[in-house]
Structure 1
Amino acid sequence: MKVLLVTYWELTHMGGIWTYVKQLADRLIALGVEVDIMGTNGANNEVYVRNLNRAFSKDKVWPMLQAKLNPTDLPQFTADPLLAYYELNRYAFEMAAAYLGVDHYDVIHAQDPVAAVAIKRILNRSIPLVTSYHGALAREAFYDAQNSNPQLTLPSYLQSKRGRYFLSLEERSAAQSELILVSSHWIKSTLTELAVPESKFRQIPYAVDLPAYRASAAVKFRQRPPAGKKVIAFTGRLEYIKGVHVLIKALASLKNKRSDWVCWIAGEGNLTDELRAQAASTGIGADVVFWGKLDNIPSFLRHADIYVQPSLQDTQPFSVTEAQLAGVPVIVSGTAGMPEMVEPGRTGWVVPPQDVDSLRELLNALLEDDVTRRTVGAAAKAWAEQHRSLEVMGLRTFQVYQEAIYRGGHTI
C-alpha cells in the first residue's frame, strides 16, 4: 500500500498536525506501508514532499493566478481580501500538488479540509480519500476574528460571508471523503451538524510514541527552576485561540496572593510579543519565562508542577497528553474536545473557558496541596500510558485505509 499524508498547512510548526503526521508515518512504515508526506514550507513559499526532497515554488504560478483572479473581472471574489488570499493559495497549492503528482497512491489521507478539497479537484483517477479533522476550521477562524472584535459572536460569524466560506470547505471535504477520522466526540458533533452521515466517522484518539517519549524525557533540561518556586507550564502555539492571554490574566491575579511560582511557556507564534507585553504590563514580566520553540518538550516538562491548557478551542492537544505522561497534573478549559481528556479530580481538572477567576483559584489551591498534585499527576500518567498507544493508533488507521479502499471498490 502506498499512502500520501498531505496538509495545506505548514508541516513543521510546533504543534499537533506535524506531531500526528510524523508519528503516524513512522508507524505505517513499520507496518510495511510506503508513505510520502506533502505540505507547505512557508519560509520558501513552496509545496513539497518532505521525505523525497521534492518541491514546487508557488511563486511560479502566483502572478498568473493574480492576473486571472483580479478585482476587475471577479469583483465579488476579491471583495474580501482574506478569502481572496485563501483561494489564491488554495489554487497555488492545487497546481503545486498536481505538478508533484498525486495519482499514483492507493490512499490519500488529508489532514485538513483545504487539502482535501484541493486534492480531490486535481485527481485524474478515483483514489480513496480519507480526511482527518484535527479542528473545526470555521470556529477557529471565528476566534481569530474575535481577537480583534471582542463583541463578535459565533452564530453571527458562522452566518457571515467568511463563516459560510470556511463551513463550505468543511462540508465539501466531508462529502468528498470516503471516511473521516476524528479524535474526539466533540469534533464529530461539529460535523454531524453539517449533515455528515454517521457511517463515515471513525474515532481514533491521538497517541504518543511512548519509548521515544521516555528517551526524550531522560535528557536533562538545560535549566532548573528558581529555588522555592513551582513551575506552571504551557506548551504550544502562541496564538489567540490557545488562550495564553487568559493564563497570564489569571497569573497576574494570583501574584496578589502568592509568589511561590514561575510560569514557563514553550512555543512561538504571532502573539509572542503581545503576550510578553501583557505579562510585563500586569507586573509579572519577571515571573513568566518565554522559552520559544523547544525541540524536547518531555525534558522541559520534567520540571513542571502544574500544566495549563487554557485554549478557547482545542480538539485533543498533544501537549496535554505529553504533560500527563510526565506525571504532571493538568488543567484544561471546558470546551471543545479537552474535557474528554481528563476525569475531573482524578486525572486532571476542567475550568470554564476564559474564566480567569476559576483558573486563579484552582492554581492557588494546587500550589497549596503537594499531595493532590502528585496523586492526580500519577493517575494521569497511568491513564495516558494505557490509552494513548501509538501502535494501536497506527494499526487502526491502517485498517481505515483498507476499509476506504474496499468501500470505494478499489484494489491494491
Structure 2
Amino acid sequence: MKILLATFWVTPHVGGVWNYMQQLKEKLESFGHEVDLLGSGEDHKYIHIINENRRVEKDKLLPLSAAKALENSYSSIYLDPVVKYYVLRRYFYQLGVRYLGLEKYDLIHTQDVLSTVCINQIRPANTVLVATLHGCVAHEMKHHVNHVQKNRSSNLASTYFDKLEFEGATSAEITIVANEWLKHILTDEFHVPPSQLKVFHYGYDTESFLKRMNEKSAIQRPIDKKVIIYTGRLNENKGVHHLISALTQLKKSRNDWVCWIVGDGPNQKELQNQNKASGLENDVFFFGRRDDIPYLLSLSDIFVLPTLMENQPLSVIEAQITGKAVIASDVGGVPEIIEHGVTGVLTPAGDAQMLCININYLLEHDQYRCTLGANAQKWGLQHWSQDKAVQNVLDVYESAISKKKIVNE
C-alpha cells in the first residue's frame, strides 16, 4: 500500500507524535509498504512531505493581499483570538495538503483531530482514513485559552474545540486511542460511539534505544551527586515550574543532587528565570534540545514528569526502557502505565510539596529506587513491543479498508 502519515502540527518536533510517525514509517516499510510523512513547517509557514523534501509555502497558496483580506474577514466572525488562529491555520493547511496531492495514497493515517478533519474534507472517494489521537485537543486548547486569557475562556472557544474533538474522532473509518482514559473522555464527554474506537498502546523500538544508550556525549554525571532528569517540551502543560518549586524545597534539606532539564519550548526563558530567582543555578541545568537522550537517561538516577495533562508520555516509556525510577503525575493515561510503588511513583499533579517528598524519598532509599527501575524496565521491554503494536495498526488498516468497501458498495 501507499500510505501517508499526516499531522497538523509542526514537524519535525520534539515529542511523542513525531517519534511515533518516524518509527511507524520505518516498521511499515519493512513490511513492504510505501510511506510518506506530512506535516506543517516552522510556525505553520508551509506544508511539506518531509521525506521527499517537497513543500508549498503559505504565501504561494494565497497572495499576501488576499491573505490579509481573508484574515480581516475572519476577525469579524471569530472574536476569540485562539479560535481565529486555528480557523486560519486549518484553512491554509487544507489548501496546502490539496496542493501537494492525496490521489496516490491508498490509506491516510492522521495523528490528531485537526489533520483528520481537514483531510477528511478533501480525501479522494476511495482513500481510506484512519486516525490516531494522541491526546484530547479540546481539553488542551481550553486550558491554553484559560491561561492566556486569565481564566476567561470564551463560550466560542469551548464550543469550537468541543465540535472539533467530536468531528476529529468520528471522521475516519476507525479511530485509535492509546488508553482507556482517552476512550472514556471521547465516549462520555464528547459522545463518540464506542464502536468507532480501538484502544491500542504505543510500541517503541526498544532495541535501537538501548543501543543508543552507549553512544557517549560530552556530558558527564557528577561524581558525588545523584542526577534527577526531565525530558520533554517546556510548556505550561508539562508542569516543569512545579518541579523547580519542589527542588527549591528539596535544597533546604539536602544538596546531594543535580537536575538536568532536557528540551525546549515556549516557557524556557520563564523557567530559567524562576530557576535563577530560586537560587538553583548551580543545581538545575537547562540542556536545551538534544539528540543524546538515551545516553543522558543512562547517566541519571530519577526521572520526573511533573505534567498537568498527559496521554501516554513517550518520556516515561523511554525512562522505563532505560530502567530508571520514575516519578510522574497521576493524570490522564499515566496511571495505566505505572503501577504505583512497583514500576514507579505516582504523585499528585501540581503539588510541589508532595513531589519534593517523593523525590527526597527516592534519593534517601537507594534499594527501593533501584528496584523501581528494574521493575519498570522488565515491564517496559515486554509491554512496549513495537512488533505487536504495529501489527495492531495493520489490523486496524485492514478493518478500515473493509469498512470503506462496504460503505462504497
Output the TM-score relative to the length of structure 2.
Answer: 0.95
Q: Identical aligned pairs, as a percentage? A: 38
- The equivalent residue for 1:166 is 161
Shift, 1:146, TM fit = 4.0
SS at match of 1:295: coil
CA distance in 2, matches of 1:70, 1:310: 38
**Shift of the alpha carbon at 1:67?**
4.5
Question: What whole-Å deviation, never above 9, does each CA across 1:275-312 have from its counterpart, x for those lacking one?
Answer: 00001101112211111111121111011111111110
Q: 1:265 aligns with which of 254, 261, 264?
A: 261
Q: How many angstroms does 1:76 deviate by?
A: 4.1
One-letter identity of the residue aligned with 2:140 = E
CA distance in 2, matches of 1:64, 1:171: 34
Partner of 2:405: helix, strand, or coil? coil
Please report how far the alpha carbon of residue 74 of structure 1 lies from its aligned counterpart in structure 2 after TM superposition: 5.0
What does residue range 3-402 of structure 1 map to in structure 2 within 5 Å? 3-42=3-42, 45-62=45-62, 63=64, 66-71=67-72, 73=73, 76-148=76-148, 152=151, 157=153, 160-192=155-187, 193-402=189-398
How far is the alpha carbon of 1:372 from its aligned partner? Answer: 0.4
1:210-232 CA-partner distances (Å, limit 9, x unpaired): 12111101112322222211111
1:66-89 CA deviation, whole Å, 9 max, x = no partner? 355354x55542422322221111
Describe the SS at the equivalent of 1:332: strand
- Find the aligned partners of 2:99 and 2:333 in 1 and give their Cα distance: 37
Does the 8 Å contact 1:66/1:88 carry over to 2?
no
Q: Is the 8 A contact 1:143 1:240 kept in 2?
A: no
Alignment partners' CA distance in 1, 2:39 and 2:374: 37
TM-superposition CA deviations, 1:96-144 (whole Å, max 9, x none) = 1001111221111111111011111122423221111101111111332
Instruction: Give the CA deviation at 1:44.
Output: 7.9
Structure 1 residue matching 2:176: 3-state secondary structure = strand
Q: Which moved more, 1:402-411 or 1:315-324?
A: 402-411
CA distance 1:369–1:88, change in 2 (3 Å): same
What amino acid does structure 2 have at the position aligned with 1:19? N
Q: In structure 1, the residue corresponding to 2:83 is in which secondary structure? A: helix
SS at 2:255 equivalent: coil
Q: Which amino acid aligns with 1:351?
A: T
SS at match of 1:409: helix
- Runs (4+) off by over 6 Å: none
Partners of 1:229 and 1:221 in 2: CA distance: 19
Q: Secondary structure at the match of 1:231?
A: strand
**Cα distance change, pair 232–130 in 1 and its aligned pair in 2 (3 A):** same
Count of matched residue positions in the alignment of Structure 1 and Structure 2: 405
Separation of aligned partners in 1, 2:71 and 2:226: 56
CA RMSD of aligned residues (A): 1.7
Counterpart contact for 1:69–1:78, Cα < 8 Å: no
Once residues 122 and 16 of structure 2 are traced to their aligned partners in structure 1, the CA distance between those partners, rounded to angstroms, is 27
Amino acid of the residue matched to residue 227 of structure 1?
Answer: I
Q: Decide whether aligned partners of structure 1 residues 26 and 74 sit closer, same or farther in structure 2, where only a CA change above 3 A counts.
A: closer
Looking at structure 2, the residues matched to 82 and 347 of structure 1 have their Cα atoms a distance apart, in angstroms, of 39
Mapped partners of 1:296, 1:381: distance in 2: 19
> Gapped runs of 5+ residues in structure 1?
none
Residue number in structure 1 paired with 2:403:
407
